[in-house]
A = this chain, B = another copy of it.
Amino acid sequence: MNSLTIALDVMGGDKGPLITIPAAIMAVNHLPSLSLILCGDQHTIQDILHKNNALNHPRLSICHTTQVVAMDEKPSTAMRSKKDSSLRKAIDFVEQGKASACVSAGNTGALFATAHFVLKTLPGVERPALISSLPTRDKDNHVFMLDLGANVFCDADILYQFGLMGAVMAEQVDGVCKPRIALLNMGEEDIKGSDHIKLAASQLAQNPDINYVGFIEGNDIFNNKADVIVCDGFVGNVALKTCEGVATLVYEKVKSVFEKNVFAKILGQFLAPTLKKLFKSLNPDQYNGASLIGLRGIVVKSHGNANKKAFFTAIMEAVKEVERQVPEKIKDSLEQGLIQRP
């Protein structure tokens, strides 16, 4: 494997450098070909590197920045006035070809707006999409879902493009052969849903390179009926966050059962690791990171509330996308897909 460089916004996220820098150290130790550029306040970074005995690590370099994008800052304000922020610099490195990808746990809206503005979309891509994977009942499979919130509304053409982009992710990142593409809808029947969903369905069905399997309902997201589920960002965001809400609710209720008496407490200890893992996997952007795809560069978003392990996982996701050349493959697929489209 060739060496690769990834830029990190170490100041982003609720816990900022306290978790991003230890995750970075973990990543370079894990992968000898990986170099990381740590964008953020030099003094803070050096301090934490020092405490972790990694001050002079040969594959960790620092890019000092003077600004930080706050978690609640308006994306437009961040873009206009935070040109020396850690978030912006990490993206700039990708744009300049000095890094192959960037990873941030910072302000989602600001990250997307800045990445879109700086990196631009690939030829033929109208809108970038936020994609992540969810677990399925079959533990060896998971399902990619997009868009998870980068776009409020998506017309048929955009949904069609998302189908092609999702297929590339499933093929390249997960190695799925002929991934099954579905559209999220309020029923499985052809007559269900809005006009733009029906049109996107017909476009996907007519592309011989796409294994389009039809409409899918919310209750089937986890039933391993598709490898990629396409929807607009509003619906995807609500579905993803509803998953998180249900998982949290169930976790609390199950936990409360275990707190009823001593016997139950012992049972709880027995079950705790399995349950924790399950509930974490239902909060995918906290666990896996989510990617903004369709841009001329790789941008991985880790959850604002990410811990060291989650941020490390997001870095590894970026590595995978670099190795599999996801943007190039999406570009090829889109070019081919636009020819195929009726």
Rounded to whole angstroms, the CA-CA distance of A243 and B220 in the bound complex is 11
Q: A208 vs B268: C-alpha distance in the bound complex, in angstroms?
A: 48
CA of A219 to CA of B244 in the docked complex: distance in angstroms?
6
| Docked complex Cα distance between A239 and B219 (Å) | 9
Answer whether A249 and B135 are a contact pair too, CB < 8 Å, given A186-B238, A243-B242.
yes
Shortest CB–CB separation between residue A261 and chain B, in angstroms? 10
From A15-23, A92-100, A271-279, A310-318, the one touching the partner chain is: A271-279
Mask: chain A, 230-260; 1 = CB below 8 Å from B; 0 = not = 0101110111111111111110111001000
Question: Does A264 touch B at the CB level, under 8 Å?
Answer: yes
Residue of B nearest to A277 (CB): B253
- Number of residues on chain A facing chain B (CB within 8 A): 51
| Nearest residue, chain B, Cβ from A237 | B186
Which parts of A277-304 form the interface with B (CB within 8 Å)? Answer: 278-279, 282
Are A238 and B270 in touch, CB under 8 angstroms?
no
B-chain residues with CB within 8 Å of residue A246 when the two chains form the complex: 222, 242-243, 246-247, 250, 282
Q: Would you give the shortest CB distance from A48 to chain B, in whole angstroms?
A: 31
With known contacts A246-B282, A250-B278, A186–B222 Cβ distance under 8 A: no
Residues of B within 8 A of A153 (CB): 194
Q: Within 8 Å CB of A42, what residues of B?
A: none
Q: CB-CB < 8 A to A220: which residues of B?
A: 241, 245
Given known contacts A194-B152, A240-B218, A245 and B271 CB-to-CB distance under 8 angstroms: no
Q: When the two chains form their complex, are residues A239 and B237 in contact, meaning their CB atoms are under 8 A apart?
A: no
A178 within 8 Å of B (CB atoms): no
For this complex, 7 residue pairs linking A to B, each with C-beta atoms less than 8 Å apart, are A137-B249, A194-B234, A221-B242, A242-B243, A246-B282, A254-B254, A267-B271
Give 10 closest A-B pairs by Cβ, nearest first: A218-B241, A218-B242, A186-B237, A219-B245, A219-B241, A246-B246, A219-B244, A222-B249, A218-B238, A267-B267
